[in-house]
Amino acid sequence: MGAESWIQIVYVLSALCFILALNWLSAVPTARRGVLTGVLGMALAVGGTLLNPGIVSYTWIAVAFVIGSVIGVPMAMMPMTAVPQRTALSHAFGALAAALVGTAEYFLRAGGAEMDRFTMGALAVEVILGFLTFTASLMAFGKLQEILPQRPITYRGQNLVNLGMPAAAVALAVWLVIHPGSHGLFLLMCGLALGFGVLLIVPIGGADMPTVISLLNAYAGLSAAAMGFVLNNKLLIIAGSLDGSSGLILSIIMCKAMNRSFSNVLFGAFGQVTAAVAAGEQKSYRSASAEEAASILLNASSVMVVPGYGMAAAQAQHKVRELYDQLTRQGVNVKFAIHPVAGRMPGHMNVLLAEANIPYDALLDLEEANSELPQCDVALVIGANDVTNPAARHDKGSPIYGMPIIDTDKARTVMVIKRSMNPGFAGVDNELYTLDRTLMLFGDAKAFVADLIKEVDAQSGGRG
């Protein structure tokens, strides 16, 4: 058996590891085993590839390994609040690698002149998806890191540009399949993909980031799968399509959780459309102090906390944990209701609360939370807005109509920690705030929870 056969056997084992890794990731008890299996799969893939007799020099590979590890380790040590932007950045790296390999392959094969049509077609898919995901992920990173403005930016003819650019890139790809030797057009296609990536994210607002990050995840995976077609490598096809299907499933879950379609997320520019609706008459609301709120919490037997991006932005998760500990010690049953799109990426709230040491069995998903809320004494909303708006259930005119929400209004008392009565990201008034059973707690999420902790402590006679 030659080296090539051994490499293929190693690749088969590697693919097996990747599938098992995802299988074990499905539940918390086996999830860490899943990660380790994934590491083994990657080690096999890299090891097997290094046996390739075509590799004549290891110098640059070693250099790249060192630089990559030196950058990779600190990127893994970021705090959980920074996970969305870190993820966007790593989508960018993954896509860049695929796009650059595609470009190198194109110019290596005598400038593409000797390339057959299938290979050229796959290469075009790899390069277009790779480059557009690269710039789009960098833009998403910029918005999440707040280097770029978070709100959607729209201009006239935007949708025309955003449809025209990919159409032009695809037209060039078709031309290249017929005439692979047109170097200039290949570079133009790369340029279009890079430019389109930027423009694609310009109209996307922060609240849509979970969907967009999932979509970019899928693109990066598909780009790697296309690379497998170019290089005749089945391991690449398998790992790439696993990544692609994961991104696809997450995007679908995110879209369903917002009751919107892909095209609506990408071309809808949420914030703009709804700004006009927000200008309604001011309704009256009730507010309460930390002292009153603390006494309500202490007298409750069950409390449902509804966290949102505001909790992450205020870095309030550790204070929330302290409050959780105090109330739990006083015999209050505290749980957390996590909406699928709460935060800036899928599952964002769960990792934040897990980091703050809140046990994961206290974290409920949308359905679980909604079945418990009618029996809850208090729903405490911290930094969430649109996902709690009852208008989504009945107001057909509301831009969020039809979106599944957390039924906080079914709890006996609702308390909302919020900076002011200003509408949230989507610019939609939240009916929840003006209900009779709702108390507004005005202040910064972190500061207010800290006050609550002090009051709970004082009122429970220091036993909390």
Partner 1 sequence: MNTDLLISHLWVFLLATFVGLLVIRRVSPLLHTPLMSLTNAMSAIAVVGSLVVTGRQQSTLSTVLGTVAVTASMINIVGGYLITYRMLSMFRKGKQAK
Active-site amino acid positions: 386
- CB closer to partner 1, 50 vs 147: 50
- Tokens describing residue 446: 């972190």
347 binds partner 1 (CB under 8 A): yes
What residues does 362 pair with on adjacent strands? none
Contact 131, 246 (CB under 8 A): no
CB 237 within 8 A of CB 229: yes
Contacts to partner 1 from residues 287-316, by CB under 8 A: none
Q: How far apart are CA 12 and CA 47, in angstroms?
A: 13
According to CB under 8 A, which residues from 372 to 401 bind partner 1?
A: none
Instruction: Please provide the DSSP assignment of 190-248 as one string.
Output: HHHHHHHHHHHHTT--GGGHHHHHHHHHHHHHHHHHHHHHHHT-HHHHHHHHHHHHHHH
Nearer to partner 1, 38 or 310 (CB): 38
303 or 391: CB nearest partner 1? 303
Q: Does 49 bind partner 1 (CB under 8 A)?
A: yes
Q: Could you say which of 229, 425, 433, 448 contacts partner 1 (CB under 8 A)?
A: 229
**Which among 73-81, 184-192, 282-290, 409-417 is the span making contact with partner 1, rule CB under 8 A?**
73-81
Contact range with partner 1 by CB under 8 A, out of 57-65, 287-295, 394-402, 438-446:
57-65
Say if residue 316 is exposed, middle or buried (CB neighbours under 10 Å; 0-12, 13-18, 19+). buried
* Residue 34 interacts with partner 1 (CB under 8 A): yes or no: yes
Q: Which segment (103-111, 172-180, 389-397, 426-434) binds partner 1 by CB under 8 A?
A: 103-111
Q: Which residue in 124, 144, 201, 248 binds partner 1 (CB under 8 A)?
A: 248
Least spacing, CB of residue 316 vs partner 1, in Å: 17
Residue among 142, 152, 203, 247 that touches partner 1 (CB under 8 A): 247
Task: For residue 304, give the 3-state DSSP assignment.
Answer: strand
Q: Looking at 359, 371, 375, 458, which residue binds partner 1 (CB under 8 A)?
A: 359
**What minimum distance in Å lies between the beta carbon of 157 and partner 1?**
33
Buried b (16+ CB within 10 A) or exposed e, 247-286: bbebbeebbebbebeeebbbebbbbeebeebeeeeeeeee
The Cα 375–Cα 57 span in angstroms is 67
- Among residue numbers 393 through 452, which ones bind partner 1 (CB under 8 A)? none
Amino acid code (one letter) for 404:
P
Is 65 a binding residue for partner 1 by CB under 8 A? The answer is: yes
371 lies in the binding site for partner 1 (CB under 8 A): no
